[in-house]
Amino acid sequence: MTAVESGWAKHPDYRIDLVPVEGRAEAWFGDLLLAESTSVIRLEEINHVDRHYFPDADVRWELFTATDHHSICPFKGEADYWSLTAIGPVEENIVWAYRRPFPEVAGIAGYVCFYEERIRLVLNA
């Protein structure tokens, strides 16, 4: 892919906060546990819904297959996607990660995010 241009220079007042989540977080698809962690980060971004990022190591990757889908965020960078393939029908592009995020959000490197509209997120303080 081509280089992703950062939007931070043009929008220096844009705000993204990375907030550690207290307690344990679980990501479920039906009765299937996708990830569980005590090190989740909540990403709070202006004009966006909050998103919860799980450490890469706390995801059950055997349930997923990488896809060729990518998206660009001018404030985070380029995202890679995975589909949930352990069950049928396949749940396309349900999880993503910014493998090389912009320096302003470097704290999400090594973390992945699920579409919370498509999974059940359980937070236990």
Q: pLDDT (tens digit, 9 = 90+) per residue, 86-118? A: 998 999 999 999 999 999 999 999 999 999 999
- Per-residue model confidence (pLDDT) at position 28: 98
What are the extents of the domains in the chain?
16-124
Given this model, what pLDDT does residue 2 score? 56
CB 102 within 8 A of CB 75: yes
Residues of the chain whose pLDDT is less than 50? none
Burial of 119 (0-12, 13-18, 19+ CB in 10 A): buried
CB 28 within 8 A of CB 34: yes
pTM of the model: 0.94
Output the pLDDT for position 16. Answer: 97
Q: Which CATH class is domain 16-124?
A: mainly beta
